[in-house]
Amino acid sequence: MKMKQITVTTPLLPSLDVLKPYLEDIWQRKWLTNNGHYHQLLEKELCDYLGVKHICLFSNGTLALVTAMQALELKGEVITTPYSFVATSHSVMLNNLTPVFVDVEPETFNLDPTNIEAAITDKTCAILPVHVYGNPCDHQAIQAIADKHDLKVIYDAAHAFGVKKDDCSVLNWGDLSILSFHATKAYSTIEGGAIICHTLEMKQKLDKLKSFGYESETQITMLGSNAKMNEIQAAFGLASLGLIDDAIEKRQQVAKMYREALADVRGIRCLNDLDGVHHNYSYFPVIIDDQEYGLSRDALYEKLRENNVLARRYFYPLITEFEFYKNNNKTVQHSSDVAKGISENVICLPMHHELSNDDVNKVINIIKDLI
């Protein structure tokens, strides 16, 4: 018999009993996309759940990022992080903007505000930080720089669903924030994404940009793509919303087990919870010091695989280490030694709501070499 695999994540799936009435109603209405009933309902429910004013749903997080930059009518250079999923910088380049990569903080792995100012030129138009693993960026320092130099701030909050700092959603920071609802994320609509904005005017602009730029049946007022979320995605999202709190609580218990068990393992560093932050525990990264631990990150990765534990090296390679980005003259790359060091030593352990205590203990025992 094939041994059970322990994957890094598993999708949050609504029960079929809960999903079915939504689908039956969609079949009755015969309205499948284009701002349908469940699309509107999910926008409303997510505003309430997340504690934000306006949300605009998208077919995926990447198109939300691309459209966010388009909506702000940016030109020139965008300062961002190399320590992210490649969609972050791709979305800059898809807008014919220049990504300017600067290094991250050694503690949170987020864009380091002290590196931003040195990278600003007369072409800089915006800052695009990422709340990596859902850990909030230093938004006060970032906003102060943006205000001083008249720059826009767009947060890639793909990992930060439900994350709050001092009881306020981190999605309220900056000019715009984007979420991803991809199946691998903590909360999903299979594929999906969203932009969070602060004014009705911006919300209406985003609504047009994701639907060809239509103003009315006979009028186009902007160059919009097609990035609409459909009714089945929205129904899946509505049916899942009731599960997310329990799923996050379960993830928190897994994080606690890992932290307690790994605290005394030499050469393994876990990230701590941050003061005043309501975390979503979407990832569990650990940093391997191969000298202290006795095995390299890649050797541990292989050893876990041999035991059917599918951990992932998020984020490796670093964006600027991909062949496509290396020496790419459409980018500007400042030194990123901190990010490179993290990228070469990080491994994300299995973290999801369906892990049993036995699963978690198995992962721990492999790391402790007790198997």
Interface residue list for ligand PLP (CB under 6 A): 60-62, 84-85, 87-88, 130, 156, 158-159, 180, 182, 193
Q: Which of 135, 169, 170 is nearest to 153 (CA)?
A: 170
Q: How far is residue 297's CA from residue 283's CA, in Å, rounded to a whole number?
A: 17
Q: How far is residue 79's CA from residue 88's CA, in Å, rounded to a whole number?
A: 11
**Residue carrying structure tokens 């994350």:** 163
CB of 159 to ligand PLP, least distance (A): 6
CB of 220 to ligand PLP, least distance (A): 26
Q: Which residue has its beta carbon closest to ligand PLP?
A: 61
Is residue 101 within 8 A of residue 77, CB to CB? The reply is no
**DSSP 8-state assignment for residue 156:** E
Cβ proximity to ligand PLP, 88 vs 233, nearer residue: 88
CB of 254 to ligand PLP, least distance (A): 20
Q: How far is residue 147's CA from residue 149's CA, in Å, rounded to a whole number?
A: 6
Rounded to the nearest 10 degrees, how much is the dihedral formed by the CA atoms of 248, 302, 104, 72?
Answer: -60
Phi/psi for 182 (5° steps) reads: -65, 155
Is residue 54 within 8 A of residue 189, CB to CB? The reply is no
Alpha helix stretches (DSSP H) within the chain = 16-29, 37-50, 61-71, 87-94, 113-116, 139-149, 200-209, 231-241, 244-262, 290-293, 297-306, 337-345, 357-367
Q: Is 185 a catalytic residue?
A: yes
β-strand partners of 219: 216
Q: Which of 238, 206, 245 is nearest to 222 (CA)?
A: 206
Cβ proximity to ligand PLP, 102 vs 262, nearer residue: 102
Q: Single out the catalytic residue among 185, 228, 340, 362.
A: 185
Cβ burial 63-77 (10 Å sphere, 16+ → b, else e): bbbbbbbbbbebeeb
Q: How far is residue 129's CA from residue 104's CA, in Å, rounded to a whole number?
A: 10
Q: Which of 89, 181, 84 is nearest to 131 (CA)?
A: 84
User: Computed over its alpha carbons, how large is the radius of gyration of the chain?
Assistant: 21
Maximum pairwise Cα distance, the chain: 69
Q: How far is residue 177's CA from residue 158's CA, in Å, rounded to a whole number?
A: 9
CB of 227 to ligand PLP, least distance (A): 10
Could you list the active site residues?
185
